[in-house]
Amino acid sequence: MSKKKNRLDETFNDLMSLNVKTYCDLGPGKGYLSKKLKNANKEVLAVDAPWARFGAHDWAKEIDIKMYFIEFFTGDFNQIQEKVDCFILAHSIAHYRFSPYLLFEKIYNKLPSGGYFYLSTVNATDYYKVLKFMKGTPIVEKVSKNMDEGFKDVAVDFNKTGMRQIWDDWMHVKEYTKNEIDELFKNSGFVIEKSFYRNNFSHWKKDLIIKMFPHLSEEIVVIGRKP
């Protein structure tokens, strides 16, 4: 038998366990986490890229969540007026074309002493990727001859060369191991409060193998604190 958990519900439980007042959701998508936190009587704001401004965040207006549109790597996080106790980066880092150190520095500088940075992401060495690799199947995205139409308007925001780059229409540009994420936190000045693997899809065969080799887990969660 297999069992699937709601990944974002698990993330919500992690965030609530921090027991802080104000959360900032970076790249909130359709607002699942933001809405759940707001419904739990937490103060919530969100930040998304300027190109995501149009029509995608009506949910924020409906429940009175303040939305900032700031470019994560070149934008100024000092535009955020509220004191943030915890920044959330849930399953976004694998999409980034630029060094995550740029964003980590902005988050670190904006947090007060004792503030948290919560990050979750896919695991580069998860069970299914290893199986694909063993079968000779690529574990990164393919190089397309023609750019996916869905990326044409946004690729120009991160590729200023005027030439096609192989990852212009990739969803995941770089997937990380837990050691790599830990290193990003430590090198950015954070103290790691928690760093662990999680599996949201359970099957007895997979569970048995992961007990022996935890680095084959699906998800990485790291919680850092600013000293």
Q: Which CATH architecture has domain 2-124+172-225?
A: 3-Layer(aba) Sandwich (3.40)
Residue 55 has pLDDT above 70, yes or no: no
Is 60 exceeded by the pLDDT of residue 92? yes
Of the pLDDT bands very low, low, confident and very high (cuts 50, 70, 90), residue 171 is confident
Report whether 223 contacts 117 (CB < 8 A).
yes
Q: Which residue has the tokens 């630029």?
A: 98
Q: In 10-132, at which residue ranges do the beta strands (DSSP E only) sit?
A: 22-26, 43-48, 66-69, 86-90, 116-122
**pTM exceeding 0.85:** yes
Tell me the average pLDDT across 157-181.
89
Positive or negative: CA dihedral 211, 214, 219, 221? positive
Q: Tokens 């869905």, residue?
A: 150
Q: What sections of 30-165 are H helices per DSSP?
A: 32-39, 58-62, 100-110, 127-134, 152-158
Residues linked to residue 220 through DSSP beta bridges, in sequence order: 121, 197
Interval 15-28 mean pLDDT:
97
37 — phi, psi (to 5°)? Answer: -65, -40
Share of the chain above pLDDT 70, in %: 96
Q: What pLDDT was estimated at residue 139?
A: 87
Whether the pLDDT of residue 190 is over 80: the answer is yes
User: Please, what is the average pLDDT of the chain?
Assistant: 92
Contact 220, 181 (CB under 8 A): yes
Closest to 216 (Cα-Cα) out of 177, 170, 190: 177
Domains of the chain, by residue range, sit at 2-124+172-225
* pLDDT single digits (tens) 98-127: 999 999 999 999 999 999 999 999 999 999
pLDDT higher than 70, residue 182:
yes
